[in-house]
């Protein structure tokens, strides 16, 4: 399967502002790209590309005053199969976890492990460890939290999601991540493209959030909001929570003026959306 990926994002900038953009496909998927994956900026400005502490591709630049456009269109090869699952995957004792996974057991900006550990133990502590327990967490969060774009808040944490039972995509993932970490299961936040491939188109296309857990000897993709395996996820970035994977971080004022994202299967006749 081939998927056309792209975005067209524009900001109105009153004065020059430094920006870090995280809009590239994750290095783990770079080998699947069939076209260059390049952040294009109009008006053109110098940009510095680097890999951050979590292994994500970042681009740093200074946006001049006025309207600035960030855009790209690329093509990627995908397996076309749903998210992998392994119902026999086991939880790894903390003493045996790879050192690089240990940070994903700790509290972070939006995931207050210390404040939700007792709740996690009460809800899931007596369940069979491993995949079944993680799936139970997804099932619970999916059923408990009500989705709505009007519930969005850039400051909402997992504890607040638990208290009010409302949120957007990222809030589902933050709560599930926090419950997993509370039970000593490494969990990290992920963001990327997830188009409506194989499912009815309902919402306008946007970048999506999901999460990953470390079971057995690898990271597995889970999604507390949709709670079903999906086709065509394309990872862009992973981190402790949404703080680490913001698509753009501006160190000053930059007002969003336009936002468009594409993630569509390209048919053999070449049909498919583009930017």
Number of separate helices (H) and strands (E) present in the chain: 4, 14
How far apart (Å, rounded) are the C-alpha atoms in residues 111 and 242?
Answer: 10
Closest CA relative to residue 170, chosen from 261, 244, 100, 229: 244
Domains defined along the chain, listed by start: 2-79+247-266 (2.60.40.2250), 94-244 (3.10.620.30)
Split at pLDDT 50, 70, 90, the class of 203 is low
How far apart (Å, rounded) are the C-alpha atoms in residues 26 and 207?
Answer: 14
The pair phi, psi for residue 80, each rounded to 5°, is 75, 10
Contact 139, 218 (CB under 8 A): no
For the chain, state the CA radius of gyration: 19
pLDDT for the residue numbered 76: 98
229, with CB counted inside 10 A (0-12, 13-18, 19+), is: middle
Q: Is the pLDDT of residue 200 over 80?
A: no
* 241-265 pLDDT per residue, tens: 999 999 999 999 999 999 999 999 9
Three-class DSSP labels, 101-139? HHHHHCCECCECHHHHHHHHHHHHCCCCCCHHHHHHHHH
* 26-83 pLDDT per residue, tens: 999 999 999 999 999 999 999 999 999 999 999 999 999 999 999 999 999 999 999 9
pLDDT for the residue numbered 159: 98
Q: Is the pLDDT of residue 215 over 80?
A: yes
Q: Is the pLDDT of residue 18 over 60?
A: yes
Q: Is the pLDDT of residue 232 over 90?
A: yes
Local structure of 149: helix, strand or coil: helix
| Residue owning tokens 């970035």 | 237
**DSSP-assigned beta bridge partners for residue 146:** 166
| Residue owning tokens 């926090």 | 178
The helix (H) or strand (E) run that includes residue 182 is helix 169-182
Q: What is the mean pLDDT of the chain?
A: 95
Contact 184, 200 (CB under 8 A): no
Give the contacts of 269 (CB within 8 A, at least 6 positions apart).
none
Q: What is the pTM of this model?
A: 0.94
**CA angle centred on 181, ends 111 and 227, rounded to 5°:** 85
pLDDT for the residue numbered 59: 98
pLDDT for the residue numbered 196: 84
End-to-end CA distance of the chain: 19
Pairing outcome for strands 57-63 and 255-266: unpaired
Question: Average of pLDDT values for 130-148?
Answer: 97
Torsion of CA 57, 237, 35, 51, to 10 degrees: 10
Split at pLDDT 50, 70, 90, the class of 195 is confident
pLDDT for the residue numbered 272: 57
Closest CA relative to residue 240, chosen from 57, 104, 113, 148: 104
pLDDT for the residue numbered 25: 98
């Amino acid at each position: 399967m081939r998927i056309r990926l792209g975005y067209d994002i524009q900001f109105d900038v009153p004065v020059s502002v430094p920006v870090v953009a995280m809009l590239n496909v994750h290095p783990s998927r770079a080998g699947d790209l069939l076209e260059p994956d390049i952040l294009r900026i109009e008006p053109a400005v110098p940009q510095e590309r680097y890999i951050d502490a979590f292994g994500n591709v970042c681009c740093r630049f200074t946006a001049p005053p006025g309207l600035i456009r960030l855009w790209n269109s690329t093509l990627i090869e995908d397996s076309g199969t749903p998210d992998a699952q392994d119902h026999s995957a086991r939880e790894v004792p903390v003493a045996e976890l790879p050192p690089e996974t240990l940070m994903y057991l700790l509290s972070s900006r939006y995931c207050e492990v210390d404040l939700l550990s007792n709740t996690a133990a009460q809800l899931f502590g007596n369940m069979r460890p491993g995949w079944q327990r993680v799936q139970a967490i997804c099932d619970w969060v999916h059923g408990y939290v009500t989705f709505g774009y009007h519930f969005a808040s850039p400051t909402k944490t997992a504890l607040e999601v638990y208290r009010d039972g409302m949120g957007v995509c990222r809030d589902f993932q933050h709560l599930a991540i926090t419950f997993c970490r509370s039970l000593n299961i490494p969990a990290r936040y992920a963001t990327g493209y997830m188009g409506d491939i194989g499912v009815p188109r309902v919402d306008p296309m946007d970048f999506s959030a999901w999460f990953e857990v470390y079971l057995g000897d690898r990271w597995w993709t889970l999604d507390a909001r949709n709670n079903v395996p999906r086709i065509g996820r394309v990872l862009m970035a992973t981190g402790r929570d949404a703080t680490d994977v913001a698509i753009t971080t501006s160190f000053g004022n930059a007002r969003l003026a336009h936002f468009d994202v594409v993630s569509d299967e390209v048919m053999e006749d070449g049909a498919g959306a583009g930017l």
